[in-house]
């Protein structure tokens, strides 16, 4: 069984890509012709995956959009995960679920994400501490992606609270320090830092060294890709998974929607490779 750090390096290398496509399906935004087919969400995702796979290192279905569809949504999420694992096994499969609870609940969350869905990594809250997150951390072949400095405008309400008397260390910095120094025994930890905060991304990179960072916020949230790459790349020009969702998956609304997604993914991929090759 490969350890997670080997799995993520393989994913970066297969297409020399740092791009991750987020799969966030909303029925009202899907091409109208797909609403007439069985397994609409799976069909939508499958066509986008097939059209974009050569430009990416990862896919990231967001559990919330599937949960909103009830039992059928969960069934199609499983279908999507199975499809990626069979057809594109070298690509990283991330479940964006932002889980975090006491240990017994996390045991169940880990079983759902890793054993039922078969994902390689899952997004998590660090708030309950290392002990509670042990069910995730102890899976050496799986990635634990902890929220650090998120991309939303209100993230600073808690994440930017000073945690020292001098007021020089903020909570997100403490999270980064704690995870890289105390939690990463199996080299399977990652952090989430939004592209909307490039200065904070640079600070986190300086704190954590080569630990991988998942970066949302490019595209409709307004994050700057060049600033993100300048702030977050490691010395080996890796270390980032740059996730783009809506601007890729909703690039087109007609029967050629998958081709439009491919074109948008290729454009972002080409922009990234200017900095990484």
Residues labelled as active-site residues = 98
**Token pair of 177 as six digits:** 């320090």
How far is Cα 92 from Cα 77, in angstroms, rounded to an integer?
A: 16
3-state secondary structure of 52: helix
Judge contact between 82 and 63, C-beta under 8 A. no
Tokens 């809506």 belong to which residue? 246
Q: What share of the chain is helix, strand, coil (3-state, %, to 5)?
A: 50, 15, 30
3-state secondary structure of 140: coil
CA–centroid distance for 38 within its chain: 28
Helices and strands of the chain, counted as H and E runs:
13, 8
Judge contact between 93 and 120, C-beta under 8 A. yes
**Token pair of 245 as six digits:** 């969702």
């Amino acid at each position: 069984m490969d350890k997670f750090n080997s799995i993520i390096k393989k994913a970066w290398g297969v297409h020399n890509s740092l791009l991750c496509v987020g799969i966030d399906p909303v029925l009202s935004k899907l091409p109208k012709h797909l609403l007439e087919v069985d397994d609409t969400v799976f069909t939508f995702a499958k066509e986008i995956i097939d059209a974009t796979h050569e430009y990416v290192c990862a896919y990231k279905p967001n559990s919330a959009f599937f949960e909103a569809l009830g039992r059928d949504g969960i069934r199609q999420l499983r279908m999507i995960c199975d499809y990626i694992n069979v057809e594109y096994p070298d690509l990283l499969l991330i479940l964006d679920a932002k889980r975090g609870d006491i240990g017994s609940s996390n045991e169940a969350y880990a079983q759902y994400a890793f054993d039922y869905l078969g994902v390689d990594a899952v997004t998590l809250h660090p708030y309950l501490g290392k002990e509670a997150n042990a069910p995730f951390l102890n899976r050496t072949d799986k990635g634990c992606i902890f929220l650090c400095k998120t991309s939303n405008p209100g993230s600073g309400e808690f994440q930017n609270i000073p945690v020292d008397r001098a007021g020089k260390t903020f909570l997100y910095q403490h999270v980064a320090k704690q995870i890289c120094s105390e939690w990463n025994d199996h080299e399977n930890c990652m952090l989430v830092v939004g592209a909307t905060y490039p200065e904070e991304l640079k600070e986190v990179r300086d704190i954590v060294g080569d630990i991988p960072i998942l970066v949302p916020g490019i595209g409709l949230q307004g994050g700057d890709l060049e600033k993100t790459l300048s702030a977050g790349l490691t010395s080996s020009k890796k270390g980032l998974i740059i996730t783009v969702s809506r601007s890729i998956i909703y690039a087109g609304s007609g029967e050629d929607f998958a081709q439009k997604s491919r074109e948008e993914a290729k454009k972002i991929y080409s922009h990234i490779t200017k900095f990484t090759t």
